[in-house]
Amino acid sequence: MTGQPPSAPPPSWGPTRSFGRIRSRTLKPRQAALFDTLLPKIAVPDPEAGPIDPASLMPGAREVWLEIGFGGGEHLAAQAARHPEALMIGCEPFLNGVGSALRHIEERGLANVRLHAGDARAVMGAMPDACLDRVMILFPDPWPKARHNKRRLIQDDTALEIARLLKPGGRLRFVTDWKDYAAWALERLARTEGLVWLAEAAEDWRTPPADHVTTRYEEKRLGDTAPIFLEFERA
């Protein structure tokens, strides 16, 4: 289950969106206020303005983590609280989720989180090679209908970009509660040059890693299976 898979095709970011709605309801007043007061202080620089150097976002950070699609921010905030020495970059296009994350950040007094209220792939494309220690993708939109599979976040080009960004020994964690998406993601990640699947037995993908944070979304069990945890390491 390990070894060097064949190369994936070169990255080609297209206009396809891998996420659904941008906002479902009016932001609560407190969250709306945080967009004006807190977000400007912790926002990731605009990727369209030029390269993004994670080291400049939190000088002295021992590690840099990226969470792609952080939902309501519970996991991001919990990991940031556990690892104050690490810079946590979170990307989420769903504005209500960003508002929720801002609330968690303010309540916990977290100084090591930076947010991008938009598509993570724009930020990824602006970052240098081998700059990340961890990438977390937890319960992304499964796009379960076959005709929508092309909208899934995990594609060959995305997997190759993740491999480019991870440092040697860096980890990728992908979690889903949809069997078909787990198989889809495993197929593409396993054939990406430089990514090594760490599972040796079924329990390795059935059992939550020791540092996993269970969120309210996960507890709803909206998929068709118990969560499946795919852990990869950058060779």
- The answer on pLDDT for 224 being more than 70 is yes
Measured CA to CA, the distance from residue 160 to residue 178 in angstroms comes to 22
Q: In what order do the strands lie in the sheet with 228-234?
A: 113-116, 86-91, 63-68, 132-138, 166-176, 228-234, 195-197
Other Cβ atoms closer than 10 A to 10: 9
User: Is residue 11 very low, low, confident or very high in pLDDT (cuts 50, 70, 90)?
Assistant: very low
pLDDT of residue 12: 36
Query: Within the chain, where are the H helices?
Result: 29-37, 39-42, 54-57, 74-82, 95-108, 120-126, 156-165, 179-190, 203-206, 216-219
Q: Is residue 141 a known part of a binding site?
A: yes
Please name which of 78, 87, 91 lies closest in space to residue 58, comparing C-alpha atoms.
87
Count of positions (residues) in the chain: 235
Q: Is residue 217 a known part of a binding site?
A: yes
Q: Which residue segments constitute the domains of the chain, with CATH numbers given?
A: 29-234 (3.40.50.150)
pLDDT of residue 6: 30
Q: Is residue 156 a known part of a binding site?
A: no
Q: What percent of the chain has pLDDT over 90?
A: 87
User: Is residue 26 very low, low, confident or very high in pLDDT (cuts 50, 70, 90)?
Assistant: confident
Beta bridge partners of 63: 86
Measured CA to CA, the distance from residue 98 to residue 142 in angstroms comes to 20
Beta bridge partners of 230: 174
Question: Over the chain, what is the mean pLDDT?
Answer: 91
Beta bridge partners of 111: none
Residue 156: active-site member: no
Whole-prediction pTM value? 0.90
Measured CA to CA, the distance from residue 138 to residue 102 in angstroms comes to 19
pLDDT of residue 44: 98
Q: Is residue 37 a known part of a binding site?
A: no
The active-site residue, picked from 36, 53, 141, 211, is 141
User: Is residue 108 very low, low, confident or very high in pLDDT (cuts 50, 70, 90)?
Assistant: very high
Q: Is residue 92 a known part of a binding site?
A: yes
User: Is residue 15 very low, low, confident or very high in pLDDT (cuts 50, 70, 90)?
Assistant: very low
